[in-house]
Structure 1
Amino acid sequence: MPPIRVGLVGLSGAPPDQYEGTSWTPSAHLPYLLASPHYEIVALLNTSVASGKAAIERYSLPLETKAYGKPEDPTVDLVVVSIRVDRHFAPVRPSIIAGKSVFVEWPLERNLEVAKEMAALAAKHGSKTMVGLQGSFSPVIRKLKETVAEEKIGKILSSTVFASMVNAGPKERKNVRYFLDREVGGSILSIHLGHAIEYITSVLGEITTWNSLLSNRHEFKDIIDPSKDNKIIVKDAPNTVPDQIMLHGLVSPSNAPISIHFRGGKQFPGTPALEWRIQGEKGELRLTSSSFGLNVGTPDTKVELFDEESGIVEELVPNSSELDDLPIPAQNIARLYEAFRKGEWYPDFEWAVKRHEMLAEIWRRHDEATIYT
């Protein structure tokens, strides 16, 4: 089969310290797309032709790569959107109407209403859709899922997840200052917890009954410039998103209780940034990592199995593949691309709407609470 022809929205030609965003497109999407014989980057759909040409030169893309803003171009099979969350819909809309396949990063858009509109439009025009909820494709997550399914710890009794996020503390980088604005739709609730809900439920099942608590303990944050040794460039910028998230509920089908606490700030020295425990009748699983982001991954992520009868703690090793040779941020994104080309299951816009519904309900309960934190 000929390679899938890709048009990228979000590959900037500017140095990372000079543009808005997280450099996710070059670090997570580009490595696989350049290495795979099954995909071919044929166009950059940037805000200007000049920006597209600068990116082609910066990342040494083939000279025949087009630099323009025509997402409905018939020579493009798959349009990939990896930009600021509240700007996802506009550039991908013409491609959806043209019936093209589209891959949009998570969150799908700034809120549930826009996400539903995107999903409805894609259904109307028969557009194949994919969303960047890659956590369930992680080999670590699949090893956990496999171990639970094989009942190596027996009946699930409970699960706890605790994570510290240094990027949700008292300061924020200038390139992602928009993370402080709830209306933009990118925050530790939508991004961090949204990804976590995806990989947690892929192992334990959906969270059916739950309560949540949001708290904003940093109503003002200093904006820093990483390119200038983290110099403070704005003092006391308003912050309207939470930096403390607690969620407690039951997972189906085991009906086991689960407790999740995501907090902004550094972890205690000598402790992991993320610890996830799954308690069973016969033993316990413990996952630790230096990052909360299992959807991205870290080389030090460890999964251990404790067998109560023998008293032995065994480290579980995830299955390996050739995709492990890619940079870590690109590996699970690559697994999404692989599932798409093979016609296997992958999260689409309808799936993303389901995740957005839970996040919207968390916000609704917070807004309607009689006690505000």
Structure 2
Amino acid sequence: MKNTGSGQKVRVGIVGVGNWAKYGHIPALRLLPGYEITAVSSRRIETAQEIAKSFGISAAFSDYHDLVTDPEVDMVIVLPPAPQHAAVVKAAIAAGKDVYSEWPLTTSTADSEELLHIAQAAGVRHVVGLQRRVGPSAQYLRDLVASKYVGEMRSVRIHVSMPYFHQERPPALAWTLGAKNFSHVLAIYVGHFLDMLFHAVGQPKTLSSIIATQFPTLTLSATGESFPNDTPDGIVGIGTLENGALLSFQVEGGKLHNSGLQIDITGTTGDLKISNPSSFGHAKENLIEGGQSAKTPFSELPIPSAYSHIPPSSLDVSVEDLAHLYAAHLEDRKNGTHIAPNFRDGVRMHKLIDLMFASSSTGALQTVDSDK
């Protein structure tokens, strides 16, 4: 992949200007002096014009083809619902632009593999929105594990839950209805959090899972209209990592109280705990606690300031993680590195989720290919 660093600002065009664009991507990009948002597009030109006016963006389009071919756009950010990603990404690649796709990359492994092959053949830089792995807490955790803080890992456990994805959905989550959209708890939260975990502790070698749909119907709160639910609400699983450690994981939506993130890592000479009372939209960075040997107090391990690569801000940590991803992309453009997660990482996660579904439907332990 070519080194495209030029020292100039990366001019960004955003396709899809819904809540996550306004709450996450636009503030994250505006935080970094290396980017300039030059264009936005929406199916309704009025929406695109309103966003452009609100954020001082020069161009607004109703057709994404006009945005991806705009000479004032160097990088295309693809933010519509997952079923629309492939078409926009292909258009951006054909135009020779760097491209970011929100996670899920597409609605299927095959489609995601196709995007990876097309992007590689075109020589464009490609980024997937698995930003949690580049946040300060995730990077510090990765280094703690690599430095043998806990000695040899014996076990890793992660639990992720959120009040969202309950049986009643607000209009803003209408796009999560329907398995064909691949925008359910398993696709989104398993993708984000297990990518972050495996980037820190190593990849899985085997896994076995049970996937459940516990809300038989879903209701749109705005209209009261109900639909049969064909999407999963939760997953539990076990397995092993490539380094031999035992693995257990649980992700569940619609948990009304005491939700959030907790990771426990047990080693031969120490232990680590990573926690956050929220799995999304959290105000504080993940808390990392640890202890070495039975005589060492189990206490907070403050994240060194060197792990932050963005300017100070009042943005919540979920958005700051996104800013770290964009900062990593700037570093990659400058140095030819591969810090930011890319389409290959997206394909790997698609394949892991496929194995989880296969295990749940067959009851069989699945072996993860080492190149996945």
CA deviations on 1:140-160 (whole Å, 9 max, x unpaired) are: 112222222222221111111
**Given that residues 28 and 333 in structure 1 are in contact (C-alpha distance below 8 angstroms), is that contact kept between their aligned partners in structure 2?**
yes
Map 1:164-203 to 2 at 5 A: 164-203=161-200
* Residue 332 in structure 1 maps to residue 360 in structure 2: no
Map 1:233-248 to 2 at 5 A: 233-248=223-238
Match of 1:20 in 2: none
Match of 2:368 in 1: none
Match of 1:249 in 2: 239
Q: Which of 323, 328, 353 is residue 359 of structure 1 equivalent to? A: 353
Map 1:1-373 to 2 at 5 A: 1-12=7-18, 23-57=19-53, 59-62=54-57, 64-69=58-63, 70=66, 71-225=68-222, 233-253=223-243, 255-266=244-255, 271=258, 273-293=260-280, 297-299=282-284, 301-320=286-305, 321=308, 322-328=310-316, 329-343=318-332, 344=337, 345-368=339-362
CA deviations on 1:144-189 (whole Å, 9 max, x unpaired) are: 2222222222111111112322113332222212313110010111
Q: Displacement, 1:41?
A: 1.0
Q: What is the total number of aligned residue pairs between the two structures?
A: 346
**Given that residues 161 and 275 in structure 1 are in contact (C-alpha distance below 8 angstroms), is that contact kept between their aligned partners in structure 2?**
yes
CA deviations on 1:232-252 (whole Å, 9 max, x unpaired) are: x32542111111201211112
Distance 2:220 2:61 in 1: 33
**Given that residues 119 and 349 in structure 1 are in contact (C-alpha distance below 8 angstroms), is that contact kept between their aligned partners in structure 2?**
yes
Distance 1:110 1:28 in 2: 22
Structure 1 unaligned residues grouped into runs of 5+: 13-22, 226-232
Q: Displacement, 1:104?
A: 0.6
Distance 2:111 2:314 in 1: 33
Q: Displacement, 1:91?
A: 2.3
Q: Displacement, 1:66?
A: 4.2
Give the letter for the 2:11 counterpart.
Answer: R
Q: Displacement, 1:136?
A: 1.1
Give the letter for the 1:278 counterpart.
Answer: I
**Given that residues 261 and 275 in structure 2 are in contact (C-alpha distance below 8 angstroms), is that contact kept between their aligned partners in structure 1?**
yes
Q: 1:41 to 1:241 in 2, by over 3 A?
A: same
Distance 2:48 2:322 in 1: 23
SS at match of 1:325: coil
Give the letter for the 2:264 counterpart.
Answer: R
TM-score, with length taken from structure 2: 0.87
Q: 1:267 to 1:307 in 2, by over 3 A?
A: farther
Q: 1:265 to 1:280 in 2, by over 3 A?
A: same
Q: Displacement, 1:306?
A: 2.5
Distance 1:78 1:143 in 2: 29
TM-score, with length taken from structure 1: 0.86
Structure 2 unaligned residues grouped into runs of 5+: 1-6, 365-372
CA deviations on 1:64-99 (whole Å, 9 max, x unpaired) are: 334353112222100001121111122232211122
Once structures 1 and 2 are overlaid, which stretch shifts more, 76-85 or 306-315? Answer: 306-315
**Given that residues 31 and 323 in structure 2 are in contact (C-alpha distance below 8 angstroms), is that contact kept between their aligned partners in structure 1?**
no
Distance 2:200 2:252 in 1: 22
**Given that residues 79 and 101 in structure 1 are in contact (C-alpha distance below 8 angstroms), is that contact kept between their aligned partners in structure 2?**
yes
Q: 1:312 to 1:339 in 2, by over 3 A?
A: same
Give the letter for the 2:268 counterpart.
Answer: E
Distance 1:128 1:201 in 2: 23
**Given that residues 290 and 300 in structure 2 are in contact (C-alpha distance below 8 angstroms), is that contact kept between their aligned partners in structure 1?**
yes
